[in-house]
Structure 1
Amino acid sequence: MSRRKTTRGGALARVLALVVVLALVAALAWGWRDFTRFTAAPMQVTAAGQSIDIGRGTSFKEIVRELRRRGFTHAAPFAWRLLAERMHVTGRLHAGEYALPVGITPTRLLDNMAKGKVLQRDFTIVDGWTFHEMLQALQQAPKLKHDSVGLDDATIMQRIGAAGEAPEGRFLPETYAYVKGDTDLDVLKRSHEAMVKMLARLWPQRAENLPLATPYDALILASIVEKETGRADEREKIAGVFVRRLQKHMLLQTDPSVIYGMGANYHGNIRKVDLTTDTPYNTYTRPGLPPTPIALPGKPAIEAALHPADGTALYFVARGDGTHVFADTLQEQNHNVACYQLKRCP
């Protein structure tokens, strides 16, 4: 009888053991399925523009804690640790700011951190901005150190390695990427170097017999073209007008240069007295090019200054719709002014 009970007891134990093993296997399978789902499922990022900033010396545990605190993940720290071990990135995560776009997965985030793919932001310098308009925009750029604040123009140029240069026109309008920790002087230096390289490349390819002695002269003329028109189909025509006027030793008589010379005295309307009040930038009272550019010219305006359109026009006037009408003689110009500006068309 005892032997039968023993046999039955052993069988029951084996069944129980099997049940436990199967339960463990099921639990492990369930857990693995959940873990696999966690690694590939989007994190709880519900709005664009989110990021996480990882300081130097931040531990993996602290990173996960911050993600959980901000509600980007509800997964247990153990799951994150297991994923990092599986990816072989534990202890290899770089400091920096990382983007958290909607739809990012834990695997993608850890991969970005391991490769140091920090968040890049863009700052765009707009064609035709003045130097000080560019500085004002830079001061609004997020996550950028504003080291230029309080510095005068000469000191800024010295800090970026361009001591002695007037800043206007020296920076190439383009989009520049930066990361947290960069300074506005870093962006300015890169933009200045980009303009230097572009002028060095384009100047040797210029048209023949231009009344421009140096690349800086081309930059000055390009800035005038930039401010006179934003239309791609007119840049070369307007550059041609100014080139012919320089060749004939005529006054350039360009309003944007006068306005630039007025500085804070310009209030949105240029008057006759402004055209006769002499400043270094008044091209109605002084011959030749102004002493510096009057804005930051983009590449198309520089190319137009170096490759002006052929023709005979010496004048132009705005139609009022963004385009201009050109004239060969002063008589034609006066007629066009009366028609398009004074609205006295015959």
Structure 2
Amino acid sequence: MSKPLIYKGRASISNAAGRFEKQSGQAEDDGWGSLDDELPPLPTEIVADASKSLITYNDSPDIPFDRSINPYRGCEHGCIYCFARPTHAYLGYSPGLDFETKILVKDDAVELLRAELGKRSYRCAPLALGTNTDPYQPLERQQRIMRGILEVLAETRHPVSIVTKSALIERDIDILAEMAKQGLASVCLSVTTLDRSLARTLEPRASAPQRRLDAVARLSEAGVPVGVMVAPLIPVLTDHELERIAAAARAAGALSAEYILLRLPLETAELFEEWLQLHYPLKAEHVMNRVRDSRGGKAYDAAFHQRLRGSGSYADLIAQRFALVRKKLGLDRSLPALRSDLFRKPDPSGQMSFDFFD
């Protein structure tokens, strides 16, 4: 019989082939206890991303930006609920363990960004980072791609908004604080739970919840407009923490708060259910029933607007609770609008200019 693939520091317990693959396989016990031994650590593999462009455009009516950058495809944070997991299937990988361990890295991101911002046809508008996979995942400590991107955006006075669940963003406060003075930067930290033991299995390589709140405080002290995203809000497992997370965010210096109801597209639903059965078997059915109650009887509804908030009585109750706590704590406002009128094309020579610090 098949056995869960339990690797320390990894959330997925399977690695089924993506939906586009013609062949698939699974680990089976050969009768000699071959799967009984503790599995060795599963290393992260860096794969070169050969993409010829960096900025991705969208016209979705339910998100507040029309362009984004994802320096990495796949994410070492390994969040079991990540809605981006199915994208790994397009690359010939599994949305399971492969998503956490085979990370595509855009080594030439800075050069690509310079080229795209330098085009005569380019028109400036806020860029969003962290909308798919986290730009501050652990690999960024060595790769420093995000740091290079921010340097180009600062040089060109280009507005940027960032969403992350990593305290590594503190490394770049020097750049973000200077950009914020000109109305060019804002940040949201994603906080799923304040329960450290739950976070350890739910999002195993992301920063601990308190470290994210510490990052909120440091960004706020540096003058960077910062909010908190309660995302995802998971029925039964974390929904009871909604008010506590909002209060902790306000105490740390957050100016605003938003939430997103758990999204389980395609393979993510099966992976999340596997995880539930392993870690919370007595709650698994209750969790999934609540999910389906808020998604029209399915694990996921991809309709615009519905995909972020859900529908039905449970989703309405969450929306009402969130509206009340936002108003009570003064978090019912948006982060300041970012400026696009200061943009200037990058230096065609490729030389960095840091007169924005002057």
Q: Report the TM-score range of the alignment, normalised by the length of the smaller protein.
A: under 0.3
The structure with the largest alpha-carbon Rg is 1
Compute the TM-score of the two structures, normalised by the length of structure 2.
Answer: 0.18
Higher helix share: 1
Compute the TM-score of the two structures, normalised by the length of structure 1.
Answer: 0.18
